[in-house]
Amino acid sequence: MPYRMLRYSLEIMEKHNLIPYQIVIYMGKNELKMEDKLNYNLGEQNILDYRYRIIDVEEIKFTDITKTDYYDLYALLPLMEKRKREGENYLKECVEAIQ
């Protein structure tokens, strides 16, 4: 993933002359194990220190979204804290928040 993110960043900078703030939103079943950086140091003239942010949707608290007015994020509610909550009851809570 770090190589892909670096490539995306370079393409955006080259094409649009903008510096992107990059975020990866992870929605996987398994525990997050992706690297969020790429770096090497081959001497004073050859250094790379590249980083980006990874957000695991499951780590976002349900209430952190529902107490905002960012309704576009409500679609992610069923994915948040899902391991900490009971299946069907949690989905009902999500539906109630969305309505």
- Helix H or strand E segment including 69: none
Q: pLDDT by residue (tens digit) across 7-51? A: 999 999 999 999 999 999 998 878 889 999 999 999 888 999 999
Calpha distance 42→22 (Å, rounded): 25
Record the tokens describing residue 98, joined without a space: 């969305």
Query: pTM of the entire structure?
Result: 0.71
Query: In degrees rounded to 5, what are phi and psi of residue 89?
Result: -65, -40
Pick the most confident of 28-42, 67-81, 84-98: 28-42
Q: CB–CB of 60/90 below 8 Å?
A: no
Q: pLDDT by residue (tens digit) across 58-71? A: 888 888 888 887 88
Calpha distance 72→63 (Å, rounded): 15
